[in-house]
Amino acid sequence: AEFAALDSQVDGTAEDEEALLAQPVLAVVGRPNVGKSTLVNRILGRREAVVQDVPGVTRDRVAYDALWNGRRFTVVDTGGWEPGASGMQGAIAAQAEMAMATADAVLLVVDASVGATTTDEAVAKVLRRSKRPVLLAANKVDDNRLMPDVASLWSLGLGEPMPVSALHGRSSGDLLDAIVKALPEAPRDGERTAGPRRVALVGKPNVGKSSLLNKLTGEERSVVDSVAGTTVDPVDSLVELDGQTWRFVDTAGLRKRVHTASGTEYYASLRTKAAIDAAEVVIVLLDASEPLSEQDLRVLTMVVEAGRACVLAFNKWDLVDEDRRHQLEKELDRGLVRVPWAQRVNISALTGRSVRKLAPALRTALESWDRRVSTGQLNSWLSELIAATPPPVRGGKQPKVLFATQAGIRPPTLVLFTTGFLEASYRRFIERKFRERFGFEGSPVRINVRVRE
């Protein structure tokens, strides 16, 4: 079978591309019993137990996080993939094809005490076509007597065979060095710039942004505690909330109350966009006394698309009576379908009601935004979910999800490696279940799919 190169499905923005690169993948292939699992354990340094992950869950589609010399990568043991081909040789060749199509580098494991078998040769032939780096591990070299047998593995045409003993750990450091060298450099994720966390306060005109900012800072405290921005006008404010200092971005406009005449809506929306981009977490202020408007939804869409953590603050709660509250609930069911995960806080900038609830909500949202689920945890959850509810058949084919990793944080981004396109509804289903299992309240979660066609 011929396989197309990696393809990323949907949401192909530059930021996603970066997230996709965040953690490179190493696929481990080889015949049964050559010591793949033992070697994977060795590579992981037993940071994640391969076998005893979740009792009762079969050891298939295993993918785990590895860390060596400060470099993170995902290790996939391809043993659990069920390639269609019949016979051992065909099955392992197909496995190698899949590995080449999904991983950034492939490690072929051969049993040096047995030497190259015809199956090993067939796999090597497939791997020699790989556009990605292929490493050759000669396993079970428990002592030097096997070194001549190791040398004979040059015949596989995959370069220098690296002698290792997965069982005793011999040379595993050298192997890891070589693996890390072969993998593409991953951008380290979001070492944040130091200092207070950055908050944007956004919402349509007259929703109460400047009133809230004044409430939070105290009317008298003025621009003294503002921080000059790098560009001409944006000025941030440092605000103390609940014992923590926050940096409210681009608040100059809010303070000056520059609500001028017509033509400003476009300007306001650019300004909102800039504030959202500059922030890590966004307080979207909504007017609880009025129906949700198009403008509100546009702001919410901007936040989701920018991938920022978010808190919904329903302001002017002092104007909300029983009737309005019921009506609002109905509006929100429909209006907030894009952000069911966002926390809601009902406040009044005028009276100060519940304003102190904002800080804990911001903290929760940021914790979710910063959070990473380990590849092992993710895959044991995912393989159960998919076994129970497989992706819908498409064009007569059942797409298979091989494994997943959380490729990035800020926002949390999952990458699913599949053998076919996943419908948007199925991706939403996965997101819903993911949130049921792992939470992530207050943060958007992105789900990208890498298809091996």
138, 150 contact by CB (below 8 A): yes
Nearer Cβ to ligand GDP, position 208 or 442? 208
Amino acid in the structure at residue 236: D
- The SS3 assignment for 85 reads coil
Residue 253 assigned ligand-binding role: yes
140 binds ligand GDP (CB under 6 A): yes
Tell whether residue 144 is a contact of ligand GDP (CB under 6 A).
Answer: no
* Residue from 167, 252, 320, 332 in contact with ligand GDP (CB under 6 A): 167
CB-based contact 81:95 (threshold 8 Å)? yes
Residue 379 annotated as lining a ligand binding site: no
**Residue 79 interacting with ligand GDP (CB under 6 A):** yes
Give the nearer residue to ligand GDP in terms of CB position, either 39 or 386. Answer: 39
| Helices marked H in 157-316 | 172-182, 209-217, 252-256, 264-278, 294-306
| Sheet architecture: strand order including 134-139 | 62-68, 71-77, 25-29, 105-111, 134-139, 161-163
Helix axes 264-278, 294-306, angle to 10 degrees: 30
Site for ligand GDP in 30-59 (CB under 6 A): 30, 32-38
Cα gap 254→398, rounded to integer Å: 53
Tell whether residue 350 is a contact of ligand GDP (CB under 6 A): yes
Only one residue has tokens 């094809």, namely 97
* Per-residue interface string for the shown chain with ligand GDP, residues 300-329, x marking contact by CB under 6 A: ---------------xx-xx----------
Q: Which residues pair with 110 in a beta bridge?
A: 138
Q: Is 140 annotated as a binding residue?
A: yes
- Minimum CB distance to ligand GDP smaller for 30 or for 412: 30
x/- letters, 196..235, toward ligand GDP (CB under 6 A): -------x-xxxxxxx------------------------
| Nearer residue to ligand GDP within complex by CB, 1 or 319 | 319
Residues in Cβ contact with 416 at an 8 Å cutoff, skipping those fewer than 6 apart: 401, 404, 422, 430, 447, 448, 449, 450
Those residues with Cβ within 8 angstroms of residue 122's Cβ, 6 or more apart along the chain or in another chain = 89, 92, 93
- Token output for 59: 């050891």
User: Which residue's CB is nearer to ligand GDP, number 195 or number 205?
Assistant: 205
Chain residues binding ligand GDP by CB under 6 A are 30, 32-38, 79, 139-140, 142, 165-167, 203, 205-211, 254, 259, 315-316, 318-319, 348-350
Annotated binding-site positions for GTP: 30-37, 77-81, 139-142, 203-210, 250-254, 315-318
Annotated binding-site positions: 30-37, 77-81, 139-142, 203-210, 250-254, 315-318
